[in-house]
Amino acid sequence: MCLSTVYKNTMAPETIAMKNVMSIECRDGLVILTDLMERQMAIEGELEKANLVDGYVIVRERIPA
């Protein structure tokens, strides 16, 4: 089973959005994350990079104008 840590904008400990992510869905400008316990979080933005071998994902958060 491959689980990932999702970061907002840059890969740093203080930017972790969610750990143990098992599912990512992109829909209507949202990146919807679901973790192993089936908790969900939605981030307004877009998927920038996913490295499933190393277990990390970076989401570029959309900043409201």
| Tens digits of residue pLDDT in 8-41 | 999 999 999 999 999 999 999 999 999 999 999 9
Single-letter code of the amino acid located at 64: P
pLDDT of 1 reads 65
Single-letter code of the amino acid located at 56: Y
pLDDT of 20 reads 97
Query: Domain boundaries in the chain?
Result: 4-61
DSSP secondary structure letter of residue 37:
T
* Half-sphere exposure (Cβ direction) of 33: Cα atoms closer than 13 Å: 26
pLDDT band, residue 42 (cuts 50/70/90)? very high
Percent of the chain with pLDDT over 70: 97
